[in-house]
Amino acid sequence: MHTNNKHALQYDAVLAAPFGAIGIAVQGVQVVIELLPERHTPKPAQHKMAEKVASQIEAYFSNAYNDFNLPIVYKGTPFQRRVWQAISAIPCGRVLTYGEIAEQIGSGPRAVANACGANHLPLIIPCHRVVAKNGLGGYMRGQVDGLKIKKWLLKHEGISFQKSKPMWPK
């Protein structure tokens, strides 16, 4: 469960993931995806939307270049949605820095980082593709094993590492 939430989500599906598990919750027209660093008992999708999300996440794990195509409502402020739109345009196998995203949308790197932290659709909105100027930056609001998951996702997409610093393509 998300350690930062006061109320644990009831998942409509739980998938095994190479780094732990993924919980998918459908709340009306909203979908929430949580990357979980620990193993959980898989749970088949209990909802049609959860089934679609689970299927596309599994396709991503099979091939990082599979695109997500889901009719999802993005819940967030207008600023967060602008950041998420910019992040969603980063192609698989590439990264941008918080500063580069900030420059694109006329903001600051810290505000971009905060919008990344508010992302409730990781993988679909690939915040793991946003890094610091001189390293990985953060992930999952500093949750335990968040950076381990970020490193795994980037490696899955073809970003190689030397020690803890990623080597990203230009």
Active site annotation includes 116: no
Neighbouring C-beta atoms of residue 154, cutoff 10 Å: 23
Q: DSSP alpha helices (H): ranges in 89-145?
A: 98-105, 109-117
Please answer whether residues 124 and 85 qualify as being in contact, where contact means their C-beta atoms are separated by less than 8 angstroms: no
Distance CA 105, CA 64 (A): 26
Please answer whether residues 111 and 147 qualify as being in contact, where contact means their C-beta atoms are separated by less than 8 angstroms: no
Per 3-state DSSP, the chain is made up of helix, strand and coil in percentages (nearest 5) of 35, 20, 45
Please answer whether residues 50 and 12 qualify as being in contact, where contact means their C-beta atoms are separated by less than 8 angstroms: yes
Residue 35's SS3 state is strand
Residue 120's SS3 state is coil
Of the listed 127, 136, 140, 149, which one is catalytic?
A: 127
Indicate which residues carry an active-site annotation.
127
